[in-house]
A and B are shown apart, each in its own frame.
Chain A
């Protein structure tokens, strides 16, 4: 089975934030929650790069490890999902996440964060809701993966900077690009998320 991953080719990202908007719209993400965001490094300086970042669906996901109620788990495809029925909103996954992916509906004083929300790789939720059901959509957002579609953020990326899909295939695509154009700033976050680099 394919191991799903994200890859942001920072040399192509133009900081248009279409991925952010697509994600919000597709999943009806509430106000104040950003499952995906674009961060610009070295803003205004030579070598400036923008990176689109969401949950990377890590190998040995640290959020899943620290969760005190074990409500986060990886699926067979490596997508890290969680159950909002079991989540207690303690915030530990946010401390552990290397990518700032876990989001909470409230600020969280006195531990009142509410249920954690994060990128689901457009693969529905990790609760007991039926796949593709309205309940699942309300709680977690779209389940495109079940329909054979990839996450919308990557699907509608205008420069095809953001890639989603089988990790081996997107790594190969990136490798070809780097060889052809002669440069590449690397697959951002891959070392931290998947313990691997794409060597060209």
Chain B
């Protein structure tokens, strides 16, 4: 009897179960089905696990405000306040220490043959203008940029909040507008010197011989040696990176959203710190590190002995050109070799 009842009820039970399943399914699929008011909302933590930012619809015209929560802000904060500070301090102070060591160990690299007293033009006026336009812009950008990260640690306690804010306000605008002269300078530099900076076989030999720093013998080099070429290509790459990331920040929300701007700032800061370190080395070798080097960018003319020691291949070319340009019969300087 019991078995019979169970037998008879079986289809009914099955139907009930089926209807429950179907109903649940219909509720999921059909948006018009009645929804329980306490329908479990997706919890915040689940949303944040799916996506790094919780975004929704907003009634006010400013649609960017539709980002409700972006915990990445705290990560960016950590980068800016901890990571970047350590990185910047280690890279920049490390480079200064390295250069000081180089000065102590190697000393100022002298012109071994002594000054010849004869000058040869290395950089034209326009070339020097392009270099100094970039250089002055770089120094302004570098110092005002460092102020944003290190100013409140180093400068604020000394000058006080009002003065520091006024200075930082000016330096912010300086940073934003001097960026354009940096772009112009970098474009000019690249246009003028790219043809002399194509890597060649001679550069590999130059590197193998330690660039003339380690041994007293000077390695042969064209207009630019491998070291200068590396600075050139680094400046081009790093310059492009800071320019692109900088302009993303200069025009907020035009090209990047908040996440994009955080990444742009990280790229901008890291590349800029490395750029400053490399340029510090560039400044050292062009001034205190080597006798006769600064003249190239100062007056534009270098001593013949210096050119012979550091850029022999270029000197030979330059003199050959001069010889063609000059009328015959006049005495021409012969290369020392």
Contact = CB atoms under 8 A, between A and B. Distances in A.
Contacts of A89: 169, 172
Given A38-B59, A53-B68, A96-B76, A88 B41 contact: no
A126 to B, nearest CB: 12
A189 B162 CA distance: 34
B176 interface: yes
A68 B176 contact: no
For chain A, what secondary structure do more than half of its interface residues adopt (helix, strand, loop), or is it mixed?
loop
A105 interface: no
A14 B70 CA distance: 23
Nearest to B250: A110
Interface stretch (A136-144, A165-173, A180-188): A180-188
Contacts of B230: none
A88 B172 contact: yes
A3 interface: no
Contacts of B177: 110
A96 B38 contact: no
Interface stretch (B88-96, B99-107, B147-155, B324-332): B147-155
Given A68-B152, A71-B165, A46 B35 contact: yes
B58 A39 contact: yes
Contacts of A66: 76-77, 80-81
B191 interface: no
B250 A99 contact: no
A111 B250 contact: yes
B68 A95 contact: no
A99 B53 CA distance: 10
Contacts of A188: 44, 68-69
A85 B161 CA distance: 10
A99 B68 contact: yes
Contacts, number: 172
Interface stretch (B118-126, B235-243, B257-265): B257-265
Contact of B42 (A42, A99, A181, A189): A42
Contact of A43 (B27, B44, B57): B57
A109 B255 CA distance: 12
Interface in B29-88: 31, 35, 38-45, 47, 54-60, 62, 64-74, 76-77, 80-81
A40 interface: yes
A19 interface: no
A187 to B, nearest CB: 8
A179 to B, nearest CB: 13
Contact of B43 (A34, A185, A192): A185
A62 interface: yes
Contact of A186 (B45, B251, B258): B45
A188 B81 CA distance: 26
Nearest to A70: B152
Interface of A: 10-11, 15, 17, 20, 32, 34, 37-49, 51, 53, 62, 65-71, 85-92, 94-100, 107-111, 113, 181-183, 185-186, 188-189, 191-192
